[in-house]
């Protein structure tokens, strides 16, 4: 584990803007309205922020269950991605983030880039986010879809696992390709295809 991740392990938590409902202190759960939380490294760099209009905190497990969440992922203290979902779960001292239902990931700088999935899981000690269930990436030029993908938010690369359906949009025409694993680089806007059986790799730029 490199130095950066060692710093992330020790994260102070800042919870702001939380208005708690009246609750019984003997109860194991507590309802929270207007949930707003930011998570930082011990060096003060923001990792992510999460907001929800309605959430529930389990005192026994120290876990959060949130609805209609809006999450921002940060890099160098600047927001890089926005994620929306129907539900989300925070566990392991807010270091494990799990999202479910109508997940939409959007890049701040590339608003046309959109990533969809049914499920999303991220351990903040790892730069890789795991997506499964109706995974689809699309913009004005291409569309990539599969049932499983890994989004590396430090390298800005999305890996789609076999089978992958790939479509090229060209004015009124469209082209479809079925392939094994595919890699999309958000920064260079390039797609790479890799066949493990034939050991062949193809790259396309837009």
Using pLDDT thresholds of 50, 70 and 90, give the confidence band for residue 195. Answer: low
- Please name each of the domains of the chain with its CATH number: 1-117 (2.60.450.10), 127-206 (2.60.450.10)
Per residue in 76-112, pLDDT (tens digit) is 899 999 999 999 999 998 889 999 999 999 988 887 8
Q: What is the DSSP string of 27-55?
A: SSEEEEEEEEEEEE-TTS-EEEEEEEEEE
Q: Tell me the two tokens of residue 27.
A: 């109860």
pLDDT digits (tens, 9 = 90+) for 153-174: 888 899 999 888 888 876 555 5
- Cα 127 to Cα 53, 60, 101, 161, 177, distances in angstroms: 27, 29, 22, 18, 29
- What dihedral angle (degrees, nearest 10) is formed by the CA atoms of 136, 47, 28, 53? -60
Residues in the chain: 206
Q: CA nearest 102: which of 80, 130, 131, 128?
A: 131
């Amino acid at each position: 584990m490199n130095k950066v991740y060692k710093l992330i392990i020790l994260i102070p938590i800042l919870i702001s803007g939380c208005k708690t409902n009246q609750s019984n202190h003997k109860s194991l759960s507590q309802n929270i309205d207007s949930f707003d939380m930011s998570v930082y490294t011990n060096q003060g760099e923001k990792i992510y922020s999460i907001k929800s209009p309605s959430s529930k905190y389990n005192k026994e497990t120290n876990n959060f269950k949130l609805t209609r969440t809006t999450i921002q992922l940060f890099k160098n203290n600047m927001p890089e991605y926005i994620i929306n979902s129907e539900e989300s779960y925070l566990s392991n001292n807010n270091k494990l983030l799990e999202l479910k239902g109508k997940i939409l990931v959007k890049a701040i700088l590339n608003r046309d880039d959109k990533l969809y999935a049914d499920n999303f899981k991220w351990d903040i000690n790892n730069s890789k986010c795991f997506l499964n269930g109706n995974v689809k990436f699309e913009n004005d030029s291409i569309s990539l879809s599969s049932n499983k993908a890994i989004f590396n938010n430090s390298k800005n690369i999305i890996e789609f696992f076999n089978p992958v359906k790939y479509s090229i949009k060209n004015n009124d025409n469209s082209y479809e390709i079925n392939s094994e694993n595919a890699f999309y680089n958000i920064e260079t806007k390039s797609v790479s295809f890799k066949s493990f059986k034939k050991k062949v790799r193809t790259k396309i730029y837009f």
